[in-house]
A and B are shown apart, each in its own frame.
Chain A
Amino acid sequence: MAYLRSILRSGKNAVPAVLRREFHRTLPAAVQQVTVRDAIKEALDEELERDERVFLLGEEVALFEGAYKVTRGLWKKYGDKRIIDTPITEIGFTGIAVGAAMAGLRPVVEYMSFNFSMQSVDHIINSAAKTYYMSGGLQPVSIVFRGPNGAAPGVAAQHAQCFAAWYGHVPGLKVVSPWSAEDAKGLLKSAIRDDNPVVFLENEIMYSVPFEMSEESQSKDFLIPIGKAKIERKGNHVTLVSHSHVVSRCMDAAAVLAKDGIECEVINLRTIRPMDMEAIETSVMKTKHLITVEGGWPQFGVGGEILARIMEGPGFSYLNAPAVRVTGVDIPMPYAKHLEENTLPQIKDIVFSVKKTLNV
């Protein structure tokens, strides 16, 4: 039922091919269908319960139950002290959260959208990321900054920017970009338990998408380590590296290409910083072809970094074709649906790039 709802709401393209193929199979008893939104909420709930020092703050997180309903029910359960509604003052409340972290609490800051975090970027970088280093190891800062990042349908230029490359640039930050419900839950729990500043980039398109959650992932101590990528689909012909909602597109494109006998290996980065180059290199050594796929802008982006590292590392000598990037178009995000669709990588763009790279 949830699956049907999600097809209708977010469109065919948002649903991972994996689920589409398994639509008619009965799921094993212990496995559940959980949306990314609910997985995030479960992670928050479990970590709030586990550690008294964890608290949430952000706009509309308490009474309104979250602008995207991610924090539904948490304020009723934990109250004013642990779930704090803030005024619309990003730089102020981010600074307050970082200060609270310096004094030993473990705040989780929600940005209604990471576009608003630009107001707070001084605190994320200068007050949080750099402090442990500048103090010679005297002052750690245990804090998580989370919220939807990147494209969302119809929100236009000021609300659709991807910040993975911006935050990925900074030493002292960990930057996580989950795709599936399992990713979201395991990585958010790890992020909250991590004693360092973590930027947790969710995506609005993914919130309503349901995924199978294994029995293991339903445990309260289920953690996914930060810094390790996951191979979502094995293949021998080309490596597709992606993160966040674009992983869905890669999986869809892989299904289309499989019909032509081209097997893609799809790597879900899971973490932007520190990036799991080993996983990418191992894959490239096997497939000999690399394409990075992202929603963000091309210049100085995540793909650019991966390609540079492949050039500098052992993977280069295995390449049979230049590694390339598939990215969002280098423009502010337009509003009109047709224009918007042509600004982000679609299945056809990935298929085209794979065939070009493989020269077929």
Chain B
Amino acid sequence: MQKMLTIISNVLRGSASRNGAELVSEGARVVVSARTYADFTPQATFDIKKCDLHKLEEGPPLQAVLTREEGLQYYRTMQTMRRMELKADQLYKQKIIRGFCHLYDGQEACAVGIEAGINLSDHLITAYRAHGYTLTRGGTVREIMAELTGRRGGIAKGKGGSMHMYTKHFYGGNGIVGAQVPLGAGVALACKYLGKNELCVCLYGDGAANQGQIFETYNMASLWKLPCIFICENNKYGMGTSVERAAASTDYYKRGDFIPGLRLDGMDVLCVREATKFAAEHCRSGKGPILMELQTYRYHGHSMSDPGVSYRTREEIQEVRSKSDPISMLKDRMLSNNMASVEELKEIDVEVRKEIEDAAQFATTDPEPPLDDLCNHIFYNDHPMEVRGINPWSKLKSVS
């Protein structure tokens, strides 16, 4: 009996883990294997908040079905994202990460919920607070962290840094506020042109939402019916400027004017997922673009050089942490519906911690890119060329 229970719990754990992490101690295993698969609720239905609608007759459903597998996967991904960002904070303070570093902790439900509502074959582009999306779009923690530390094993070979990470169908990581929005609409144009029923998710923040080029993009995306989901991650502050001080209208979901919009709770991964599914259906049916505003929050300041407390109170940050944390919300839902055990989630935490530690270890020990690589990747698919160095006698080589 004991052996059978162990086998079953191993299978469960194997399917839940992303990279087959080692099992924990004997004691914990004995406790977990006392519960069988039949003990956990395989799925549950949750009420989710109604979305505010703009130029839409109907919105996303008011209930979401969550399976145990989905729940564990969202939990693991959000936890990985959280721990990865906190580790980046640590490495930055140790001066191992330099330059700009914009952390995503607090906003995990947005990235995870959006990815859950689309396919990997769809496309996504965001601004500089991009580590979480690099992860959901297929990047590994190792290559993300090594890019932050500027090593050759980084996702962009150490050439890009925090704001310039790319994967398949993920176009970064963009440093110029608002620029990613027309780029994303361009990707959507390519989707429509090539006729593959793919769409592009195009993210921007409350700060970027006032950019002129975004309104130019709304116009063209709507005119040409581009399959584009515009998503405003409203975390209430554009760097140090609160939304009330930057925008004449803070109803970001209405700013698309002729584009239908939704405003929803960006701290609830199920809300985000259901709204994304709704939006994706809208785009894929050829109706053109749609706009989503996710109300969310970042725990860190704008970047690592901003403590984040000169324009907001510590009480506010603490309140969000205790009442609306996306990971806690999911955890509470799963535990109170018997979809997972405390120990099981703790085990995931341990595995995640280990993954982050390993990645950080790699990111700090991997060597920097070689000097030979300095001038490479200027042009694609081109013959090798000479690049002028710092003085006239310095002739450097560049290959594609």
Contact = CB atoms under 8 A, between A and B. Distances in A.
Interface of A: 55, 81, 84, 86-87, 89, 91-105, 122-123, 126-127, 132-140, 142, 171-172, 174, 194-196, 274, 312-313
Interface string B148-174: 000000111111100010110001101
Interface string B386-400: 010000100000001
23 contacts: A86-B220, A89-B219, A91-B182, A91-B213, A99-B183, A99-B189, A100-B186, A100-B187, A100-B193, A101-B186, A102-B183, A103-B187, A103-B190, A122-B179, A126-B179, A133-B377, A135-B159, A136-B159, A137-B377, A139-B172, A171-B387, A174-B379, A274-B385
Task: Kindly name the residue among A84, A95, A194 whose own CB sees the greatest number of chain B CB atoms within 10 A.
Answer: A95
B189 A136 contact: no
A277 to B, nearest CB: 10
Given A95-B182, A98-B186, A99-B183, A195 B219 contact: no
Contacts of A87: 216, 219-220, 223
Question: 8 tightest CB-CB pairs across the interface, nearest first?
Answer: A99-B186, A95-B182, A92-B216, A136-B157, A103-B190, A140-B380, A99-B183, A136-B156
A206 B155 CA distance: 46
Interface size class of B (residues with CB under 8 A): 35 or more
A92 to B, nearest CB: 3
B191 interface: yes
Contacts of B182: 91-96, 98-99, 123
Contacts of A138: 155-156, 166-167
A89 B185 CA distance: 14
Q: Residue among B125, B184, B380 with the most chain A CB within 10 A?
A: B380
A100 B123 CA distance: 12
Contact of B220 (A89, A133, A140): A89
Contacts of A93: 182, 216, 220
A195 B377 contact: no
B157 A103 contact: no
B385 A96 contact: no
A134 to B, nearest CB: 4
A133 B159 contact: yes
A144 B186 CA distance: 15
Interface in B353-400: 376-382, 385, 387, 392, 400
Contacts of B160: 134-136
Nearest to A130: B164
Contacts of A55: 193
A172 B379 CA distance: 6
A126 B160 CA distance: 13
Contacts of B156: 134-136, 138
B377 A136 contact: yes
Interface in B170-228: 171-172, 174-176, 179, 181-191, 193-194, 200, 212-213, 216-217, 219-220, 223-224
A137 B190 contact: no
B255 to A, nearest CB: 15
A99 B187 contact: yes
Contacts of A140: 380-381
Given A104-B190, A137-B376, A99 B125 contact: yes
Contacts of B125: 99
A95 B186 contact: yes
Give the one of B158, B200, B212, B217 with max A CB within 10 A. B217
A95 B181 contact: yes
A101 B188 CA distance: 11
Contacts of B385: 274
Which interface residue of B158, B187, B219 has the most chain A CB atoms within 10 A? B187
B179 A137 contact: no
A133 B191 CA distance: 25
Given A99-B185, A136-B158, A196 B382 contact: yes
A135 B123 CA distance: 17
A287 B333 CA distance: 84
Contact of B164 (A105, A135, A172): A135
Contacts of B212: 91
A99 B376 contact: no
A104 B188 CA distance: 11
Contacts of A97: 186
Nearest to B165: A135
Contact of B191 (A94, A103, A136): A103
B238 to A, nearest CB: 18
Contacts of A194: 382
A126 to B, nearest CB: 5
Contacts of A105: 189-190, 193-194
A202 to B, nearest CB: 22
Nearest to B168: A138
Given A96-B186, A139-B171, A127 B220 contact: no
Contacts of A171: 378, 387
A58 B397 CA distance: 37
Given A103-B190, A132-B379, 6 more contacts: A89-B216, A96-B186, A102-B171, A103-B191, A132-B377, A136-B154
Contact of A312 (B159, B187, B379, B392): B392
B208 to A, nearest CB: 13
A133 B190 CA distance: 22
Contact of A95 (B183, B223, B377, B382): B183
Of A127, A132, A136, A142, most B-chain CB atoms within 10 Å:
A136
Contacts of A139: 166, 171-172
Given A87-B219, A126-B176, A134-B159, A96 B185 contact: yes
B59 to A, nearest CB: 28
Interface string B302-344: 0000000000000000000000000000000000000000000
Nearest to A312: B392
A92 B158 CA distance: 30
A96 B217 contact: yes
B32 to A, nearest CB: 41
A99 B159 contact: no
A97 B125 CA distance: 15
Contacts of B159: 133-136
Nearest to A172: B378
B24 to A, nearest CB: 37
Contacts of B158: 136
Nearest to A55: B193
B380 to A, nearest CB: 4
In the complex, which of the residues A55, A86, A102, A142 has the most CB atoms of chain B within 10 Å of its own CB atom? A102
B175 A126 contact: yes
A100 B190 CA distance: 5
Contact of B184 (A99, A133, A135): A99
B256 to A, nearest CB: 14
B380 A92 contact: no
B183 A127 contact: yes
Contacts of B186: 95-103
- Interface-central residue, B123, B156, B224, by most chain A CB under 10 Å: B156
